[in-house]
Structure 1
Amino acid sequence: MPKVDTARFLADLNELRQIGAYKTGVHRPTFSPEDMESRRWLMERMRECGLEPTMDGIGNVIGRHQSAGPHLLVGSHIESQNYAGWLDGALGVMAGVALARAGLPVDVAAWADEEGHYGGFIGSRSFIGELSDAEIDRLTNRYHGKPLRQALQEAGLAGLPRIAMEPGRHKGFLELHIEQGTQLEGSGQRVGVVTGIVAIWQYRITITGMQDHAGGTTMAERRDAGLTAVRLLAMLDERMPMVCGPRSTWTCGRIALDPGASSIIPGKAEVLFQFRDVEETVLARMAHCLEACVQESNRRERCTTVLEAMSLSKPALCDPAMQAALAGAAEQFAPGAWRHMPSGAGHDAQYLAKRMPAAMLFSPSIGGISHHWSEDTKEEDLALCVEVLAEGAARYLAG
């Protein structure tokens, strides 16, 4: 059985959180000085445990094990959302380093921009060959508009080759992550063996009415795009529960009204709406519900609504053999205190799963909080989960 130095693992995590520290969390946006400092810091930790680290032209840091194999690939990401938590992503990367230090034949990866400052999962997508130069040319930062090419230049990455997956090198990919929810904490359990990663179906809803004066236009004459948007969203919230699954979610992430002034009736509304589930049949039902609600809105309202699908990803089911290895390890270290569960968030593992067996392990999140600087997990749960991950990796490699 591999022996993990949990004290060193926790010390590494706490040292990493000092880079870009913000309150009790971190602020390490992709390709910021803090992000690049953390990547260089990680490369030193990789060297210390015998890995050969490289940072590539998209910012991926990959530490290669020097044994003959078979190898596992273990990792996550170390950049953060703005003013966010210290564990989201970093936990999975430092767990990989801990497994390498324990003598397991693992390559460790810190993928670039999982958080989507420039495009979402560009590091893991680059590794599996799904990020083209043309896409890199057109991507910009969603917060301040900086072109990705400029960011790579400023970070010292321009012109470096991008590392591609080496066929046959890896038996599978493992990612340890905080749950970012309350299922484990609420049930008093300490480990989650992930069954699959949800698909996210993202839509743009554009509603066109008539911009007009808020005082001079009677209520009967109005074509108010804002009110139409509100009524459509209320209809969706009423009808989605009739077609969803037990862990489906749906979210209106943005409502933009044009021109957005208090004394002007909005002539246009743009809504970003998404839903998530791990079952494709459920996703199809939810899509049909959305389409029906838009159709009903166009029948009732004086404004015209157009629905546009922006991205329709596929669920990624975790590999059964890897799940079984993790489940056996969870029962060994936390008998009766673990569960099978889906991931409601997207992760790099869903892209690696397109090219190799992949699985995930969840640790509890205190209060379910994530993407916020107060995100946290008990140290004893972090230590337990890295031990479960190591034992699961050893079992899978031996299988």
Structure 2
Amino acid sequence: MPQIDADRFLRDLNELRRIGAYKTGVHRPTYSSEDMESRRWLMERIAEIGLDPSIDGIGNVYGRHKGAGPHLLAGSHIETQNYAGWLDGALGVVAGLALARAGLPVDVVAFADEEGHFEGGFLGSRSILGLLPDDEIDRSRNRTDGIPLRDALATAGLAGKPRMQLEKGRHKGFLEMHIEQGTQLEQAGLRAGVVTGIVAIWQWRITIEGMQDHAGGTTMAERRDAGLAAVRLLAMIDQEFPKVCGERSTWTCGRIAVEPGAPSIIPGRADILFQFRDIDVAVLERMERCLRACVQESNRRERTTATLLNISKSLPAPCDPAMMAALDAAAEGLAPGLWQRMPSGAGHDAQYMARAMPVAMLFTPSIGGISHHWAEDTKEEDLALCCRILGDAAARFLAE
């Protein structure tokens, strides 16, 4: 079993959380000054371990192991959601450092913009696989302030840098350690979760066109209120989806924006961002058919017109059986009876890496299930234990 320096692992995590600190969490959005400072910090740690550090034109930080293989790739991302937690993403990158420090033949990576601050999301992991074309970079804007991605890259000092490509055949597999971002492990009194697969996320934009008009002078019978039509459509979807969804399906309306958004004006337009998730494509297809039927029924009932546009459809990513078996054995050896297999309800860079190599993920418990919030946390003893499990599993898999 590799000798994981748990104290140094925890110290690195706590050093990194100070960059962009916000309350007990972190605010480190992609390409911000705090994000770029954290990438420089990471390159220094990579060099200290003896790996070759580099950063590419999309912001991926890479630490290349200098010795012989077979090699593993380990990492995640280090930008955060706005005013969010200190472990989401950072945990996987710092765990990769810990594995390399223990002498394992591991390349360490921090992908850019897994959190999707820019349209398209997963910029780094898609770019390294050759799945991010230049014209998408040209079109992409920051979801919060509308800044073009090209401008953000220039401000961050990345313009003109080449984008690295994954070295084919170099890696036996990809490992990502992550917080659960849910309550299953904590509620069951368990300390680790071996991930069986990563859900697909299907994202949609629903646009509802009505008629902007005066809130006092227009009678209720005359109105074409896009705002109320949006609310009724979403209520219909929430009523119908349980009839077609799977056991672990989820659906979310992340944004409803009405125009012009004034208290005395009937909304003439509503813009909705909606998504659903599952690990089974057949379930996703049933949910899509239900969504389309709800939009059609809305158009029959309402005096407004709803239009449905698909934004993206990712693929579910099953984890590799041999890598899961290595994690199973490591977890049982270090935490007998205190672990389980479980799916991931969140998206991760691992789902893109699965297109190029075997992947596996290990979950630590999340206190209260909180994530994407500054109160996100995990017990340090669970973090240290799971890093040891990850190291043991990496050694087992490499020895096969």
Do the two structures share a fold, i.e. TM-score over 0.5?
yes
Task: Provide the aligned C-alpha RMSD in A.
Answer: 1.1
Please identify, of 142-151 and 267-276, the stretch whose mean Cα deviation from structure 2 is larger: 142-151
Cross-structure match for 1:91: 91
Cross-structure match for 1:166: 167
Q: How far 1:254 sits from its partner (Å)?
A: 1.0
How far apart, CA to CA, are the structure 1 residues paired with 2:270 and 2:139? Answer: 26
1:196-211 maps to which residues of 2 (within 5 A)?
Answer: 196-211=197-212
Shift >6 Å, 4+ stretches = none
1:103-118 maps to which residues of 2 (within 5 A)?
Answer: 103-118=103-118
Cross-structure match for 2:145: 144
How far apart, CA to CA, are the structure 2 residues paired with 1:141 and 1:32? Answer: 11
Identity of aligned residues (%): 74
Q: How far 1:293 sits from its partner (Å)?
A: 1.1
Deviations 1:280-335 (A, max 9, x none): 01101111111111111122222221111111111111111111111111111111
Deviations 1:24-48 (A, max 9, x none): 1111111111111111111111112
Cross-structure match for 1:255: 256
**1:128 paired to 2:129:** yes
How far apart, CA to CA, are the structure 2 residues paired with 1:398 and 1:46? Answer: 24
Cross-structure match for 1:60: 60
Q: How far 1:15 sits from its partner (Å)?
A: 0.9
Aligned residue identity for 1:176: M
Cross-structure match for 2:6: 6
Q: How far 1:157 sits from its partner (Å)?
A: 1.5
Q: How far 1:193 sits from its partner (Å)?
A: 0.7
How far apart, CA to CA, are the structure 1 residues paired with 2:140 and 2:270? Answer: 25
Aligned residue identity for 1:236: I
TM-score by length of 1: 0.98
Cross-structure match for 1:352: 353
Aligned residue identity for 1:278: I
Please identify, of 305-314 and 244-253, the stretch whose mean Cα deviation from structure 2 is larger: 305-314
1:191-270 maps to which residues of 2 (within 5 A)?
Answer: 191-270=192-271
How far apart, CA to CA, are the structure 1 residues paired with 2:224 and 2:251? Answer: 27
How far apart, CA to CA, are the structure 1 residues paired with 2:240 and 2:137? Answer: 39
Deviations 1:227-272 (A, max 9, x none): 1111111111111111111111001111111221211211221111
How far apart, CA to CA, are the structure 1 residues paired with 2:52 and 2:35? Answer: 20
Cross-structure match for 2:366: 365
1:293-312 maps to which residues of 2 (within 5 A)?
Answer: 293-312=294-313
Aligned residue identity for 2:110: A
How far apart, CA to CA, are the structure 2 residues paired with 1:241 and 1:280? Answer: 16
**How many equivalent residue pairs?**
399
Cross-structure match for 1:376: 377
How far apart, CA to CA, are the structure 1 residues paired with 2:310 and 2:118? Answer: 20
SS of equivalent to 2:88: coil
Q: How far 1:275 sits from its partner (Å)?
A: 0.4
Q: How far 1:374 sits from its partner (Å)?
A: 1.0
How far apart, CA to CA, are the structure 1 residues paired with 2:111 and 2:65? Answer: 17
Aligned residue identity for 1:38: S
How far apart, CA to CA, are the structure 2 residues paired with 1:262 and 1:146? Answer: 29
Cross-structure match for 2:288: 287
How far apart, CA to CA, are the structure 1 residues paired with 2:104 and 2:270? Answer: 54
Q: How far 1:134 sits from its partner (Å)?
A: 1.7
How far apart, CA to CA, are the structure 2 residues paired with 1:116 and 1:3? Answer: 35
Deviations 1:332-387 (A, max 9, x none): 11111111111111111011111111111110111111111111000000001101
Cross-structure match for 2:191: 190
Deviations 1:204-224 (A, max 9, x none): 111122222211222122221
How far apart, CA to CA, are the structure 2 residues paired with 1:118 and 1:78? Answer: 15
Deviations 1:27-78 (A, max 9, x none): 1111111111111111111112121111111111110111110000000011
Q: How far 1:17 sits from its partner (Å)?
A: 0.9
How far apart, CA to CA, are the structure 2 residues paired with 1:116 and 1:58? Answer: 13
**1:333 paired to 2:353:** no
How far apart, CA to CA, are the structure 2 residues paired with 1:165 and 1:338? Answer: 32
Please identify, of 146-155 and 120-129, the stretch whose mean Cα deviation from structure 2 is larger: 146-155
Please identify, of 173-182 and 137-146, the stretch whose mean Cα deviation from structure 2 is larger: 137-146
Aligned residue identity for 1:241: P
SS of equivalent to 1:233: helix
Cross-structure match for 1:71: 71
Q: Which runs of 5+ in 1 are unaligned?
A: none
